[in-house]
Chains A and B, each alone.
Chain A
Amino acid sequence: MIQTAHLRHAYRQAPWRIQRQWAGLFLLFLLVLAMVSALYLDVTANAAIAGREIQQLRFDITATQRTNADMETRLAELLSTRNMEVRARALGFRPSEAGEIHYLFVPGYFLAEGVRLENIAPPPAAAPSLPAKYTMSLLDWFAAWLDTPALELAGGDILP
């Protein structure tokens, strides 16, 4: 019985078994490091792709705004006083004379004064303000973490 206990103890204390445990721990560390690296690489790559898409979308917005401004001006040319008069006359219309106009009283109706163009220029969408932790690299985050006062990390207040 005692001999069996000695053998079991010797087995546990065998040098090759301790070495294997150390090797296992080391491999586990490598595995965790590889996983973190892979995750970091994936996140960084996706962030870069998203950044490129944002850049491209901004170029597209600029191009669309330019096209809009151009088309608006061309539409205004088509609807200009001279063009509209020519088209109206071609359709058989002519300017009305004072005696040809009939005025009607419409209760509750008031002629709107001036135009409102607020909808033509919608307010620019507010730029998303991401927290820094979503845009900084891992090393940036680590450096910031090192610079952060311990008190803030602890989340506590200074007590008297």
Chain B
Amino acid sequence: MRQEYAWRSIALTTLLAFLSVAVLVQMIRIQYSPEAEVFRAQAEQYSGKFQTFYPERGEIYDRNGHLLAGNEAVYTVGVNVHEMKDAHTIALTLVAYLGLNYEEVMRRLQDPGGLSFVTLANYVEAEDASTLMKLQEQMTADALAVNQHSALDGLEFQPHLQRSYPENALASNILGFVNREGKGYFGVEEKYNDLLAGNPVQVWVPEDPNRAAEIPRIPNGTTLILTINRDLQAAAEEALDNAIYEYGAHNGAVIILDPRTGEMLAMATTPRMDLNQFWNYPYVYDQSYLYNPAISMQYEPGSVFKILTMAAGLDLGVIAPNTLFNDTGSIEVGGAIIQNWDRQPWGAQDMIGCLQHSLNVCHAWISTKMGEENFYRYMNNFGIGHPTGIDLAGESPGRLKQPGDLEYFPVELGTNAFGQGVAVTPIQMLTAATPLANQGRLVIPHVLYAMVRDGRQFNIAPIHGGNPISVPTARTISEMLAISLENEASMALVPGYRVAGKTGTAQIPVDGYYDPYSVNASFIGWGPIDDPRFLIYVWLERPTTSQWANDTAAPLFSEIAQKTVILLGIPPDAIRLQLVNQ
């Protein structure tokens, strides 16, 4: 009997063991079967999803930490079709609160085209979205109280960031703007788009909570600090707007630069645009170069160019401040006769007189004494005809015809000397003057002061572009220009401060001839001349109240210089020298 039980027991044990082994073998076989790969792939599909992470666009600050471009929260409003209970109520609500079209909303909700989430409105302001969210919460609470579904079930709000400019139109020509797709246009936004936007990253996001740590943290775009002084920018824009109105000018530009470093302190132009409404761009600007004429507008500079001719002549040694020139009222260069602006002879003049009276003949004489090779070598060294390399998108190179060019005529050696036959941009003219205000050293203008990334700030070092003239030449030309302004009691003078500068009144060529009634009025100046802290270029297009820059651009320069010394904290010369002596 006991033996019989033993056999049964052994048989049962054997059977169970066999079954166990069979199950184990089958498990291993399934693991390594061809179908297993398919199942694994299917499981992998549901184990997570690919997501593209867009980093927060970097902010833009002025040099004192004022936010110029930031990000604000906006909402995408849509409907989760699977949770939607009442399309009619949702449509009516969105019509009432967001001004959407009822038929359009209903059409998209009733035919979602296979989508589980239907987007109905994007870039909805936070206030509007908040109002809707409160309404939805209230309706949900009311529905729950009576054990029913809310009519707004399925309505969802997805927050995200969009570019915002707290100062609206301030410095719009410098900043540029960002469109809905996050692409920067013009100015800093375009020039540094890659840095600001950061790097979007597409990653696999696992649903498995044990792998949560694998989700990468996407660093934000780089924050930029500009060299711009917000208050000075606002003051320059206000002064420019007033001047354009007062002098009946079409457009204008004001650039303020630190000649020691090339840091752009302010760059005001007209017209400007509210960057928060960038879609108005085509209505504000006819041409793209009008967005920032300070770097894009090419024109004949006129007499402000004479400071370069005089500096080159002094540096080459063909003239000295006390060199006398007998002005007969005309000079022949390249077979053509060049005359003064008043077509009158001015007699014996030293070089300060030539600058003070802005004598074309005298400057044409200087350039001919220098000779073509020397004159154009100096102009090239000043950067005329080349982009300055400023870190703003859309800079024009200007144009300087030189011997050997197809369109060059020998007379241009004379006309170029007083700013005719040469095309520059305001920033180019300003950059060319930096050696005169900075001990002979040319600096490359820039608007980027520093970058902040991963909590570390990287300051940008000034870039120098050579020494077109010597230190003594720079001091001499500054002194000559200061004396010439003081001699004529120029309206450009700044009470309490010695400044150097020069006016420029250039007729505008129309259909190959100079229009006597249309001029570009400009003034370039710097100060205090013993230690220049600011270099200002003022340009007014077609002022109508007066044709002379001394009546329009010069007083505008003076006004802006007075605001500059206050905002930059530069004491008057007497006090400054007294403080230095202490």
Contact = CB atoms under 8 A, between A and B. Distances in A.
B166 A73 contact: yes
A50 B234 CA distance: 52
Contact of A72 (B67, B217, B455): B67
A103 B571 contact: yes
B575 A122 contact: no
A33 to B, nearest CB: 15
Interface residues of B, number: 56
Contacts of A74: 72
A121 B231 CA distance: 24
Interface stretch (B21-29, B194-202, B561-569): B561-569
Contacts of A47: 209-210
A60 interface: no
Nearest to A135: B210
Interface stretch (B112-120, B446-454, B537-545): B446-454
A103 to B, nearest CB: 4
Contact of A66 (B73, B566, B569, B582): B73
B579 A103 contact: yes
Interface stretch (A3-11, A124-132, A152-160): A124-132
A44 B454 CA distance: 35
A70 interface: yes
A96 interface: yes
A76 B456 contact: no
Contacts of B161: 66, 69-70
B455 A122 contact: yes
Contact of A121 (B72, B126, B211, B454): B454
Contacts, number: 135
A65 B449 CA distance: 25
Interface in A117-156: 117-124, 127-128, 130, 135, 137
Contact of A120 (B160, B452, B575): B452
B226 to A, nearest CB: 10
A37 interface: no
A68 to B, nearest CB: 10
Interface in A52-67: 52, 54-55, 58, 63, 65-67
A13 interface: no
Interface residues of A, number: 48
Chief secondary structure at chain B's binding surface: mixed
B190 to A, nearest CB: 21
B459 interface: yes
B551 to A, nearest CB: 22
A79 B579 contact: no
A93 interface: no
Contact of A101 (B160, B217, B234, B566): B566
A122 to B, nearest CB: 5
B271 interface: no
Nearest to A52: B209
A82 B453 CA distance: 30
A81 interface: yes
Interface stretch (B57-65, B175-183, B359-367, B382-390): B57-65
Interface in A85-138: 96, 98, 101, 103, 105, 111, 114-124, 127-128, 130, 135, 137
A123 B455 contact: yes
B457 A118 contact: yes
A42 interface: no
Interface of B: 56, 59, 61, 63-67, 70-73, 126, 159-161, 164, 166-168, 170, 208-213, 215, 217, 219-220, 223, 225, 230-231, 234, 449-450, 452-457, 459, 495-496, 562, 565-566, 569, 571-572, 575, 579, 582
15 contacts: A51-B210, A58-B215, A63-B159, A69-B161, A73-B72, A75-B67, A76-B67, A76-B166, A76-B167, A96-B566, A98-B496, A117-B452, A119-B455, A123-B456, A135-B211
Nearest 7 CB-CB pairings of A with B: A51-B209, A123-B455, A73-B70, A76-B67, A76-B166, A115-B65, A70-B73
